[in-house]
């Protein structure tokens, strides 16, 4: 029987929403769940994955009643090294669930390619429910397949 895929959970908190076209991205924090696998760590908003096996990265954006309300729109990746490609091989599945009004969730499958350390820039796209404006959070992912 195959092992279940590892899963790491993160909660996004919007501190200051800034729409695209401005000078700065959204001010936000990304907090890891306390029971995340040891092979997935975060420093600031930058995630490090040190697993040779695929890992699901689950981002939750809660909408407490006191907040203006935001939803997850998607994610885009860019290689931060000339010898690294992005796309369907490393990040083959991205699922977004925006059902309900309490939160939206995005699950990204990170499938390290076992070719050594790979560093990716990525943006998480967020939309304001009230205004329809779109903003982005701009962290990094580093894959170092060690385990």
Which of 123, 131, 12, 139 shows the shortest CA–CA distance to 63?
12
Is the pLDDT reported for residue 140 higher than 90? no
**Position 87 confidence tier, pLDDT thresholds 50, 70, 90:** low
Tokens matching residue 105: 């969730």
Domain residue ranges of the chain, discontinuous segments joined by +: 6-143
133 pLDDT more than 90: yes
| Model pLDDT for residues 104-118, shown as the tens digit of each residue | 999 999 987 767 777
Nearest to 40 by CA among 29, 53, 27: 53
For range 129-136, the mean pLDDT: 93
Over range 81-88, report the average pLDDT: 68
Between the two ends of the chain, the Cα-to-Cα distance in Å is 20
- Its pTM stands at 0.88
61-80 pLDDT, tens digit per residue, is 998 787 788 999 999 888 76
Task: Tell me the C-alpha distance between 59 and 10, whole Å.
Answer: 5
Q: For domain 6-143, give the fold.
A: Immunoglobulin-like (2.60.40)
Q: Is the pLDDT of residue 147 over 70?
A: no
Mean pLDDT of all residues in 18-28: 88
């Amino acid at each position: 029987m195959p092992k279940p895929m590892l899963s790491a959970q993160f909660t996004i908190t919007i501190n200051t929403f800034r729409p695209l076209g401005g000078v700065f991205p959204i001010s936000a924090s990304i907090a890891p769940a306390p029971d995340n696998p040891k092979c997935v760590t975060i420093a600031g908003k930058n995630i490090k994955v040190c697993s040779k096996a695929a890992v699901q990265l689950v981002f939750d954006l809660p909408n407490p009643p006191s907040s203006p309300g935001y939803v997850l729109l998607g994610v885009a990746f860019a290689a931060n090294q000339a010898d690294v490609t992005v796309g369907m091989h490393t990040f083959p599945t991205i699922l977004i669930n925006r059902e309900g009004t309490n939160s939206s969730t995005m699950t990204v499958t990170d499938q390290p390619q076992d070719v050594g350390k790979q560093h990716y820039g990525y943006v998480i796209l967020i939309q304001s429910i009230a205004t329809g404006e779109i903003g982005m959070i701009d962290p990094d992912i580093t894959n170092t397949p060690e385990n």
